[in-house]
Structure 1
Amino acid sequence: MKFAMIGAGAMGLRYGILLQEAGNDVTFIDTWQPHIDKIREQGGVYQMRDHKDRHLVHIKLETPESYDGDPDMLIFFTKQMQLADYLKRCSHFFNDKQYAFTCMNGMGHIEKLQQYFADDKIIGGTALIATVLPGPGEVDFMGKRGAGKMNMCPLNEKPDEMTHRLFDELQKAGMNPTLTDDFTGTLMTKVIFNSVINTICTMFELPMGEFGNFPGAYEMSRQLIDEAYDICARADIHLVSTRKEEMAALDRNTRIDMPLHYPSMYQDMIKDRPTEVDYINGYIAQLGRKYHYEAKTHLFVTQAVHLAEFHRQNLAKQRANQAELSAPQAQTA
């Protein structure tokens, strides 16, 4: 298959490189200039697995403006707040035969994709796969080959030939896909998962295992889970995991599968990029208000993450001011 990977960040590179290794034609499209410059200078991306075996992988890289291909499938792995701009800049090579697939975190992206693609051409998914972008031009796949898993479901909940072709290629790439039959329930189940792991680890700057081994982790998680599941019940959203299964998945992922991993939201915050908390906990709280349910814990956590961002920004300003004050002053005669 011919793929265009829209967004060559951590997850975009992981999916794209593995699909490329599985024999597919993949072109990466990105807008972050330092990343683009480094990849072109190196002739590819340096890939590691669990910080080891660093080696160069040759990839095709374009910007939205320079790409003029006609892929079978466009895979979107941008941040929620970047997607609208990417879609506008890439729209010149969209056509009505192409499919759009995404496993982006949070909610709000599907409505943006619907502005450019028909419902029967959109496939949504979720990924429990850990990947880190240490810096421009390099990526670190966390976990052994074949680690992690993902769910996928067409928006119209009617899998067609292209859905099955995508499934087969993802399976060959070692992504361990599962085809589900409830689109909204599939996406919301992962949003709820992220509303615990991503936000708490980001607020306190913790690796996932440290949170999972905290004696109060169950109570903190359960409070967020119960609010979200109560809201989904009111909204008639059928989640693909029960509350008990979701709690078990949180425990397994934090303590056993990925104890040393820092979630993507944390990675954004420490690099002074905006987090996606408004599209995760904020989205859950907004959905709750629509159905007359005040998700007080999710509202609190949303603001707590923003407070952590605000604190880091203030520290950066203080350090900059101190550096300016301590710098040698030019003297004039």
Structure 2
Amino acid sequence: MRYGIIGAGAMGYRYGVLLQEQAGVAVDFIETWDPNRKQVEEQGGVYVSRDHQHRHLVPIQIYTPEAYHGHPDVWIVFKKQMQLDAELERDAAADLFHPDQYVFSAMNGLGHFEKIARYFNPNQILAGTAMIATVLNGPGDVDFMGPERGEAMHMAPYNDQAPDETMEAIYADFQRATLGPEWSTNWLGMCLTKVAFNAVCNTLCTMFEINMGQFGSYPGAAAMAEQLFNEAHDAAARAGIKLLENRAQQVQSVLDSCVKLKYHYPSMYQDFSKGRPTEVDYINGYIARLGREHDYPCRTHEFVTHEVHLAEQMRSVKK
């Protein structure tokens, strides 16, 4: 099959390069950030490292939406939540979307699948979550964090149907690409499990401008994680959503990740440190809204959402 990547950022590069190099499938990249696209065109591909080592150039095909005339079987979407509406509108205006195409996304936060479903048949949407740490060093330069074949992800049909033949083929390609896929039968619980994880690691590391190892080394890290997970799980239970892991498992997942990825700065911190808006409204903010909708205020998530926005405001004031 042929894949099209919408968003040649850290995770877009990770999925696209691994599919191209490990699975041997054709991949095209759609990019609307001009500095990134132009850098790739000038250097003839994207520079790829793993844990800051073995930097090498991987040739790729990259296009603006308007310049692309291909017809991939599957779109893979990795955009920031705040940018997704404008991206999809531009891609649709460029006539990139067709009724026979499938789409997969493992973006951070929640709220994106409803937007994607405006353009694609819900029966042809695959939801995903990725426990895969990646850093975009700059235009045309990406760093895959973690050991080779250490990638892990979950995927599920958006409407919780049984996977069809095309979905099984996508799963097989992801396996060959060493992305470590696992099927789930509960797309919303799967995604909310990852949102709750990010609501701890991404947000707390951003608030204190630390990497995951520094957070994990704090004696109170488990207690902080437990408080945020308790609220997330209580809100989910009131909404009738079953998460893939229980509270204790999620706390342990955070502690394990802080060891495995101890030098990693989560994506929210990467955005914050570079002066970009964060996705906190789609992570802690999503949990807070879910709780409010079901008469369960998640006060810690509400508070840290405000804290991140305050830090963003003070950052701009300092400039």
Are 1:226 and 2:230 an aligned pair? yes
Q: Which amino acid aligns with 1:244?
A: A
Q: Structure 2 unaligned runs (5+)?
A: none
Q: TM-score, normalised by structure 2?
A: 0.98
Q: CA deviation at 1:187?
A: 0.6
**Which residue of structure 1 lines up, in the alignment, with residue 9 of structure 2?**
9
Q: Which amino acid aligns with 2:34?
A: Q
CA distance in 2, matches of 1:206, 1:102: 28
Q: Structure 1 unaligned runs (5+)?
A: 317-333
CA distance in 2, matches of 1:83, 1:12: 14
CA-to-partner distance for each residue in 1:195-249, whole Å, 9 max, x for gaps? 0000000010000011011011111111100000000000000111111111111
Q: How does 1:109-148 map to 2 (within 5 A)?
A: 109-148=112-151
- 1:201–1:266 Cα contact (<8 Å) kept: yes
Q: CA deviation at 1:148?
A: 2.6
Are 1:195 and 2:199 an aligned pair? yes
- 1:201–1:262 Cα contact (<8 Å) kept: yes
SS of structure 1 residue aligned to 2:318? helix
**Which residue of structure 1 lines up, in the alignment, with residue 305 of structure 2?**
302
**Which residue of structure 1 lines up, in the alignment, with residue 185 of structure 2?**
181
SS of structure 1 residue aligned to 2:128? strand
**Which residue of structure 2 lines up, in the alignment, with residue 272 of structure 1?**
275
Q: Which amino acid aligns with 1:179?
A: W
CA distance in 1, matches of 2:227, 2:146: 29
**Which residue of structure 1 lines up, in the alignment, with residue 56 of structure 2?**
55
User: How many residue pairs are counted as aligned between the two chains?
Assistant: 315
Q: Which amino acid aligns with 2:14?
A: R
- 1:13–1:139 Cα contact (<8 Å) kept: yes
**Which residue of structure 2 lines up, in the alignment, with residue 28 of structure 1?**
29
- 1:77–1:104 Cα contact (<8 Å) kept: yes
Q: CA deviation at 1:156?
A: 1.8
Q: Kindly name which structure, 1 or 2, has the bigger radius of gyration based on alpha carbons.
A: 1
Q: Which amino acid aligns with 2:37?
A: I
CA distance in 2, matches of 1:87, 1:37: 21
Q: CA deviation at 1:65?
A: 1.2
Q: CA deviation at 1:69?
A: 1.0
Are 1:247 and 2:248 an aligned pair? no
Give the superposed CA RMSD. Answer: 0.7
- 1:64–1:86 Cα contact (<8 Å) kept: no
Ranges of 4+ aligned residues in structure 1 off by more than 2 Å: none
CA distance in 2, matches of 1:303, 1:68: 43
SS of structure 2 residue aligned to 1:93? coil
CA distance in 1, matches of 2:122, 2:37: 32
CA distance in 2, matches of 1:288, 1:105: 19
Are 1:257 and 2:257 an aligned pair? no
